[in-house]
């Protein structure tokens, strides 16, 4: 079993369809911005909805710090579109049907069944700077990500 992607590792590149059906390539999003990549189990479950809404509510903070939020689950692009519309999510949701990218990052399942909940903060050079894993501490995913993104913003050369 792979140890999973850790802080200091290079973020594996991938291309997945967004909620609009457009392909999104991770490395195309890097360079200009920091990427907050969060894997979550499923659209419209209580924890995942709370997490998505917490990222939504902090979205301006991320945007001001030149960071982009991207959520990934195995739900279809159509389900993502409905989920994003219902909760006014201003960020990209990617459909990882079959869980290939989840496996690429080594996101562990919980109790052997549920896809895990892990947030990665990836700097402009494509290096993972922070990894946070917790199924239950939803708010910490967002607060940790905000803190790391702000630190990375101060490192950005003028």
Give the residue numbers marked as catalytic: 48
Task: Single out the residue of 121, 101, 132, 111 nearest to residue 23, CA to CA.
Answer: 101
CA distances from 43 to 77, 81, 115 (A): 11, 10, 12
Those residues whose C-beta lies under 8 Å from the C-beta of residue 44, and which sit 6 or more positions away, are 79, 83, 86
**Secondary structure in 3-state letters for 23-90:** EEEHHHHCCCCEEEEEECCCCCCHHHHHHHHHHHHCHHHHHHCCEEEEEEECCCHHHHHHHHHHCCCC
Task: Single out the residue of 72, 38, 43 nearest to residue 140, CA to CA.
Answer: 38
């Amino acid at each position: 079993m792979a140890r999973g992607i850790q802080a200091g590792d290079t973020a594996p590149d991938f291309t997945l369809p967004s909620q609009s059906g457009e392909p999104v390539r991770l490395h195309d999003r890097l360079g200009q911005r920091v990427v907050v990549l969060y894997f979550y189990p499923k659209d419209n479950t209580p924890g995942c909805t709370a997490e998505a809404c917490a990222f939504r509510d902090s979205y301006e903070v991320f945007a001001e710090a030149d960071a982009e939020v991207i959520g990934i689950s195995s739900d279809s692009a159509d389900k993502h579109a409905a989920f994003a519309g219902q909760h006014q999510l201003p960020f990209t949701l990617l459909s990882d049907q079959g869980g290939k990218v989840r496996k690429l990052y080594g996101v562990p399942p919980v109790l052997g069944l549920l896809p895990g909940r892990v947030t990665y903060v990836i700097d402009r050079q494509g290096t993972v700077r922070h990894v946070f894993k917790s199924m239950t501490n939803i708010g910490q995913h967002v607060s940790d990500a905000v803190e790391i993104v702000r630190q990375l913003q101060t490192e950005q050369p003028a």
